[in-house]
Amino acid sequence: MIIKSLIVAGYESEAPGTILAYRAPPGGIAAFSAATVNLDAAWQVLYRTTDSFGNASATVTTILIPHNADYTKLLSYQVAEDAADPNCAPSYAFQKSAATDGALGLILPQAELLLIETALARGWVVTVPDHLGPKSTFLANNLSGHAVLDNVRAALASSKFTKISTDPTITLWGYSGGSLASGFAAELHASYAPELKIAGAALGGTVPLILPVINQTNKGAFTGLIPAGIMGLSNEYPSIAQLLQEYLLPAKKAEFNKAASKCLTGDIIEYLGQDVYSYVSDPGIFETPAALQVLNANNMGQHAPTIPLLVYKSINDEISNVTYTDDLVSYYCNAGTSVEYKKDYLSEHGTMAVLGAPDAIMWLEDRMRGVPVDSKCTTSSTFTSLLDPNTLVLLGEVLVNSLLDLLGAPVGPIMIG
C-alpha cells in the first residue's frame, strides 16, 4: 500500500484528477513478479478522485511507457482485480517480487500484463489505474468509473515527466471486472469528465447486473467472486457492512471474512464449490432493500455512453448470462450509442478473455488511428478459435512478448517484425 505514506493533507480540495505525488515504481515492473518488463519508463501516480458518495478519495495509477513510444496514443487498461484486499492492486502486483497470499495470489492481475504488452508493442502508452480505490471496494463501480476517468486526467497532467502528449487519442479497455470499471467510466464520462475526448472503449466479458451472478456462480468454480464482491461493497457502503453483521452466522464469520485478505485466485480456491447461503441466517439477504439499493446502484445501464463501444461476450458465459448483455447493448443502441457487439460460440468466460483480445486490439487500433465508427449498432456472432488467422497472429504476438520478457529483451515496436 503506497497510498498512506504519500497522501498529503488537504488533498480533498484539489480538482479530480490532480496529481498528488509520483515516483518510479520502487520494485520495477515485472511479469509474474519475476521477468522484468523492459520498458522505457514506468511511473506510479497518486491522484485525487471521487468515491461512490461524491466524496474526495485518492488512488494510484501505473503509467507504462514502451521503448519508441507514440506519446499521442494513450490506453487506459483496467485489470480484473476482483478482490477486497488493497494489496491485490496492479500498482503493487506489477512490481518485481510482489507477493500477496502465497505464490498464486497475484497471478490474475499479473497475467493481464501479457495483454497490456500487446498494446505496449504498438507503441501505445498504457495507464493502469488501481480502479478499486484505496479500500479495494470491488463492485463499487461508481467509484471505479471515477477512478478511471481521473486516471486519464492525471495521465494528461503528467506530460512534464511522462512526455505523454497533452492531447492524445484516448481509449479504454477491460475484461470482466475490468469491463465494469471501463463501462462505468464510459457511462459517467459525459457527466463527470466531459472535457475528455475518448475515442472508444472495448468491454469484454461484461457483467451488467450483479444480483444474478450470485446464484449463477454459487456452488461452482467462481463462487469466490461472491464473498469478494460482498466484502468489496462492505468496504465502501456502511449499509452492506451492517447487513453482514446481521446475517453472517457467527460460526462462519471468520471464514467469510478471509475474503478481505485474498486476491481473486485465492478467493476462487478458498470458496470453490461452496454454498454461499450456508454462511448466512437467511437466503433473502441479497434481496433485502438495503442490498438491492447498493446492487442496483452498481449495475450497468444507468446512462448511455456517448463514446463508441466494442462489446465482446461469450454466448456460453457462465458468470453473467449473455442475455443481460443483449439487453444492455439494446439499451445503449436505442439511446444512440454506437456499439459493435461481438458474440462468440466457442468460448466461455475465462477463454474469451484471451480469444476476444485480438478483436479488441484491432478495434482499439482503429480508434487510435481515427478510423470512423459505424454510427449504427452492429451485432455479429462468430466462432473464435485459435485457428482464426487474426487470433493466431495476435496471440502469437502475446506469446512472443512473454518470451521476450523472460529474455529481458526490449518491448516496443522495433521488436515486432
- Distance, CA of 300 to CA of 271 (rounded, Å): 26
Of residues 63, 231, 75, 50, the one with CA closest to residue 144: 50
Cβ 176 to ligand NAG, closest distance in Å? Answer: 15
Check: CB of residue 45 under 8 Å from CB of residue 31: no
Identify which range of 53-61, 62-70, 151-159, 360-368 contacts ligand NAG by CB under 6 A. 53-61
Q: What is the DSSP string of 117-155?
A: HHHHHTTEEEEEE-TTTTTT-TT-HHHHHHHHHHHHHHH
- Cell numbers representing residue 395 in the block: 496471440
Residue 351 sits in the site that holds ligand NAG (CB under 6 A): no
What is the separation of C-alpha 12 from the centre of its chain, rounded to a whole number of angstroms? Answer: 25
- Distance, CA of 76 to CA of 67 (rounded, Å): 18
Tell how strand 56-65 and strand 35-36 pair up: unpaired
Residue 211 sits in the site that holds ligand NAG (CB under 6 A): yes
Q: Which is nearer to ligand NAG, 59 or 95 (CB)?
A: 59
Q: Which is nearer to ligand NAG, 159 or 302 (CB)?
A: 302
Among 316, 351, 379, 385, contact with ligand NAG (rule: CB under 6 A): 316
Identify which range of 50-58, 96-104, 240-248, 384-392 contacts ligand NAG by CB under 6 A. 50-58
Among 33, 321, 347, 391, contact with ligand NAG (rule: CB under 6 A): 321
Residue numbers 59-98 binding ligand NAG by CB under 6 A: none
Q: Which helix (H) or strand (E) holds 22?
A: strand 19-23
Among 88, 98, 132, 188, contact with ligand NAG (rule: CB under 6 A): 188
Q: What are phi and psi of 178, to 5 degrees?
A: -70, -25
Cell 457483467, residue located: 207
Report which residue type is found at 352: M
Residue 191 sits in the site that holds ligand NAG (CB under 6 A): yes
Residue numbers 291-310 binding ligand NAG by CB under 6 A: 297
Tell how strand 198-204 and strand 309-314 pair up: parallel
Residue 283 sits in the site that holds ligand NAG (CB under 6 A): yes
From the list 101, 267, 317, 405, the catalytic residue is 317
From the list 176, 182, 314, 320, the catalytic residue is 176
Residue 323 sits in the site that holds ligand NAG (CB under 6 A): yes
146 catalytic? Reply is: no
- Distance, CA of 236 to CA of 298 (rounded, Å): 12
Site string for ligand NAG, 212-241 (x = CB under 6 A): ---x--------------------------
366 catalytic? Reply is: no
Among 22, 94, 192, 363, contact with ligand NAG (rule: CB under 6 A): 192
Q: Which is nearer to ligand NAG, 87 or 144 (CB)?
A: 144
- Distance, CA of 188 to CA of 172 (rounded, Å): 13
Q: Which is nearer to ligand NAG, 148 or 368 (CB)?
A: 148
From the list 131, 189, 303, 349, the catalytic residue is 349
* Residues 210/211/216/218 CA torsion (nearest 10 deg): 100
Cβ 323 to ligand NAG, closest distance in Å? Answer: 5
Report which residue type is found at 216: Q
Q: What is the DSSP string of 308-374?
A: -EEEEEETT-SSS-HHHHHHHHHHHHHTT--EEEEEESS--HHHHHHHTHHHHHHHHHHHHTTPPPP
How many residues line the site for ligand NAG (CB under 6 A)?
17
Residue 396 sits in the site that holds ligand NAG (CB under 6 A): no
Q: What is the DSSP string of 37-77?
A: PB-SEEEEEEEEEE-TTS-EEEEEEEEEE-TT-EEEEEEEE
349 catalytic? Reply is: yes
Cβ 302 to ligand NAG, closest distance in Å? Answer: 7
Residue 13 sits in the site that holds ligand NAG (CB under 6 A): no
- Cell numbers representing residue 243 in the block: 447487513
Residue numbers 105-164 binding ligand NAG by CB under 6 A: 142
Residue 320 sits in the site that holds ligand NAG (CB under 6 A): no
Identify which range of 157-165, 222-230, 242-250, 315-323 contacts ligand NAG by CB under 6 A. 315-323
Residue 260 sits in the site that holds ligand NAG (CB under 6 A): no
Active site residues: 176, 317, 349
The residues that touch ligand NAG, with contacts defined as CB under 6 A, are 52-55, 142, 188, 191-192, 211, 215, 277, 283, 297, 316, 318, 321, 323
